[in-house]
Amino acid sequence: MRIIARFILLFVSLHATAENGHQLWLRAKNVRPVQLVCTRSSETLNLAKEELRSGWLGEANASVTLTVKPDKAVKGDGFRLSKNEIQANTETGILYGVYELLRCQQTGQSVDEKVSNPSYERRILNHWDNPDGTIERGYAGLSIFWRKGDEAFAVTEADKRLWTEYARANASVGINGAVLNNVNASLDVLSAKTLGRVKAIAAILRPYGIKTYLSVKFSSPSMIGGLKSSDPLDPKVVQWWTTKTKEIYRLIPDFGGFLVKANSEGQPGPQDYGRTRADGANMLADALNPFGGIVMWRAFVYSASEEDRAKQATTEFLPLDGQFRDNVIIQVKNGPIDFQPREPFSPLFGAMKKSNVMPELQITQEYLGQSVHLVFLSTMWEEFLQSDTYQEGAGSTVARCTDGSIFRSKHTAIAGVANIGLDANWCGHPFAQANWYAFGRLAWNNMLSSKQVADEWIRLTFGNGGSSAYSEEWVSNFLNPVRQMMLESHEVTVNYMMPLGLHHIFAANEHYGPGPWWAPQGTRKDWTPPYYHQADTLGIGFDRTLTGSNAVSQYHEPLSTQYADVKSCPEIYLLWFHHLPWEYRMKSGKSLWDELCYHYDAGLQDVRRFEKVWSSMQTYVDKERFEQVQSKLREQSANAQIWKDACLLYFQQFSRRPIPNDIERPVYELDKLLIMKMQTN
C-alpha cells in the first residue's frame, strides 16, 4: 500500500515538474516584493496589481504608482511608463503598462520613460472553431471554447481556468478581441444556448480588456428565423437582425460585433438576393451601430470565373469603396490569393481610401508546415506590413495605410487566425507559440522588428524566468543562434516549398505536402496546382503582366511597372508575375531551372542545419521541449526532402534539364512521390 502511495506521489510530483509548455512566455521566477500605490480598485486594476506582485524583478520593495488619468499624448489603451509609474487613460491601459514593465524586467531591458500607443484600435484573434469543438485548419487539438456532447454548454471550473489563462496570455501582448467561432459559421452560433456560453466566456475575458465577437451566417434569418428570405433590404430581415443584435447586447453589453464571410467558398451572402456586398455589410452595421459594434466584412472572395483568382477581390471590392458604413471594416488577407508561403501584398491595401481596411494574417500554419515545421512568421508579417503600396506617395506602407497614419479611418484593426487549441502547450509546436506572441506584439506596434520580437520571446520562454539568467554565455550560445534560426526559418521554408514566387502547389486539400501535379478530374481549375504554376516545356510561372491576366495593373505605380518588367520584378515574386523560359537568366547568372534547383536544395540543407543548431542546445532547454523540437525538426527535414524531390522531379519533366551536379541527388522516385501521402504528425 505504502509503495503504491509513494509511486502515486512520485508520479504526481514528476507530473507537476514536467515541462509541457503550458506557461507560454509567462514564467517570471525569483520575484521580489513591491509596494503598490493605486487609489482605485476594480477587476482590471486588481489584475494589474496581482501581475506586478507576482512578476516584479526590479529593486526589492520599490514603490510603483498606477494612475488612471487623462493624458493627450496617450491614445486608446496606451500608457505612459517610467521605472516607478504607470499612467493611462483606461484601466486596460494600466494593465498593458504593467505587462510592458514586467517584460522589460524579464528580458533584461532597461525601463525607459516612454509613451506607448497601440498601432491598431482592435487587435483580434480569429478562431476558426466549430460548435462541435473541431477547428478548421487547427493543428493543436480541439477548441478551448466549444465541445460536443451532453456537457457541451456546461461552464466548468476547468473551462474558466483555461479561459483565464488564455485571456492573460492575450492581454500580456496587447490582444484585445477574440472572434470565438469559424468564419464558415454554423447557424447554431446565434442560438440561446450558444449565446449563453459566449456570455460566460465574455465575463472571463472582459477584465483582461478583451472583447468577444462572433462570425455569423448571412442566411440566418431564413435558416433559423423562419423568414422567407435573408435579403438585406427586406424590412423583416432588417428587423430580425436588429432584434437578434439587441438580444446579444442584453447578454454581453460590450460585445464587439460580427465577422462575416459572405458569397465566398459557398457561403451565403447578399449577392444571393441580387444585392451588393455593401448592402449586406451595411444592414448588419446598422443593427450594431446603436451599441457601438462593428462589422468585419471579409474580402476573401473568388469564384470559378475565368478571371485570375489573384485579381478577383480587388475587382469586386474597389468599386464599392465609399459605400460602406463607418462601422464596417473590410478584412483583407495579407496576399491576394490565400495565405501562401509567400505572396506580394493584396492590392486592396491603400487602394480603398474611403473605407476602413484591416489586414488578416494567419497564425495557424495552414500552408506552412502546420504544427510540424518550425516557421517564425514574424518576418513574413514584417515584410508585408513594411511593403510600400505607393498609394499616397513613397512610404505608404501597408502598416501606415491600415493604422490610421495615412487615411483617417474611423476604426483600425488587425486580425490573426489563431493557432490555439487544447494541446497542453496550446499551439502544438513549442515554437508556434512565438507566432501567437509575435502577432500580438506587431498588432500593438507594427514597426517592431522581428529580431526584437524573437529576442523577447526566447528570453521569456526559455530564459528561466528572469534577467538574472541571461549570462553572456547563454546569450551567445543559446539566444543568438536560436534567434538566427527563427529569423531565417520563413525564407528557408519558402525555399523548400515554393521559391521564386511559386504558390499553391500543395497536394489535395490538407495543404501540407507537395502536389504540383495534383489535378483530379472534375476539380475546379483554380483549386489545382497546375493553374498556379503553369509549367510546360517552354517554362514556368503565372503570367500576370499585360500579356497575361494583367494583375500587375491593380498595383499603384511605380509598382505596376516594376512588377510587370521582368528585369525589375523582385525575384522573390518572379513566377508570381511572370511565365518564363527555363533558360531565363537570373540575376545570379544561372538559368531559371538551375536557380530553382538551388533554392529547393538550399531549403533542405538549411533545415538540416537547424537540426544541428537545435541539437547543440540540449543543456539550455528542459528535456521535454528539447526533445519535442528535435523530433519535429527531424520530421521537417524529412518533409523538406520530399518537397525538394517532388517539385524538382515533377518540373524536370517539363524543363528536360539535368539537376546541377553539385546538388545532392533526389532520394525518391517520382512515381513513389505521386502516390505518397505525407503525414502531418
**Residues in contact with ligand GCW by the rule CB under 6 A:** 128, 136-137, 183-184, 261, 265, 300, 338-339, 366
- Report the nearest approach of ligand GCW to the CB of residue 337 (Å): 9
> Do residues 495 and 603 make contact, with C-beta atoms less than 8 angstroms apart?
yes
Closer to ligand GCW at the Cβ: 338 or 455?
A: 338
* Nearer to ligand GCW among residue 245 and residue 364 (C-beta): 364
Options 51, 231, 286, 338, the catalytic residue: 338
Write the CA distances from 610 to 213, 323, 541, 590, 619, integer angstroms: 39, 50, 30, 27, 16
SS3 267: coil
Distance of CA 313 to CAs 50, 260, 575, 638, Å?
47, 15, 20, 37
Under a CB-based contact definition with an 8 Å cutoff, are residues 175 and 125 in contact? yes
3 state SS of 591: strand
306 is known as an active-site residue: no
* Smallest distance from ligand GCW to CB 509, Å: 7
Minimum Å gap between C-beta 338 and ligand GCW is 5
85 has catalytic annotation: no
Shortest gap between Cβ of 280 and ligand GCW (angstroms)?
16
- Nearest-CB residue to ligand GCW? 338
Q: Mind giving me the DSSP string for 154-203? A: ---HHHHHHHHHHHHHHHHTT--EEE-S-SS--GGGGSHHHHHHHHHHHH
From residue 583, how far is each of 45, 112, 385, 587, 596 by CA, in Å? 65, 55, 34, 13, 11
Q: How far is the CB of 339 from ligand GCW (least distance, A)?
A: 5
Nearer to ligand GCW, 142 or 540 (CB): 142
Q: Is 366 exposed, middle or buried (0-12, 13-18, 19+ CB in 10 A)?
A: buried
> Is 360 annotated as catalytic?
no
- DSSP code of residue 478: I
The one catalytic residue in 129, 159, 286, 366 is 366
The nearer residue to ligand GCW, 296 or 535, going by C-beta atoms, is: 296
Q: Where are the alpha helices (DSSP H) in 318-403?
A: 378-385, 398-402
Smaller CB separation from ligand GCW, 496 or 506: 506
Give whichever of 137 and 429 is closer to ligand GCW, judged by the CB atom.
Answer: 137
Q: How far apart are CA 596 and CA 357, in angstroms?
A: 36
> How far is Cα 256 from Cα 121, in angstroms, rounded to an integer?
12
Residue 95 or 337 having the CB closest to ligand GCW: 337
Q: Which of 43, 265, 627, 669 is catalytic?
A: 265
Question: What's the closest the beta carbon of residue 506 comes to ligand GCW, in angstroms?
Answer: 10
Closer by beta carbon to ligand GCW, 137 or else 503: 137
In angstroms, give the least distance from the CB of 531 to ligand GCW.
Answer: 16
Distance CA 420, CA 403 (A): 26
- Cell numbers linked to 401: 495605410
**Number of Cβ atoms within 10 Å of the Cβ of 502:** 27
At closest approach, how far in Å is the CB of 679 from ligand GCW?
Answer: 19
| b/e per residue 60-88 (b: at least 16 CB within 10 A) | eeeebebbbeebeebebbbbbbeebbbbb
- Cβ closer to ligand GCW: 127 or 325? 127
DSSP state of 138: -
Least CB distance from residue 261 to ligand GCW, whole Å? 5
Q: Looking at beta carbons, which pairs linking 37-43 to residues 24 or more positions away fall under 8 Å?
A: 37/63, 37/64, 37/65, 37/66, 38/65, 38/66, 38/67, 40/68, 40/91, 42/91, 43/206, 43/207
**Could you tell me if 367 and 394 are in contact, meaning their C-beta atoms sit under 8 angstroms apart?**
no
Residues labelled catalytic: 265, 338, 366
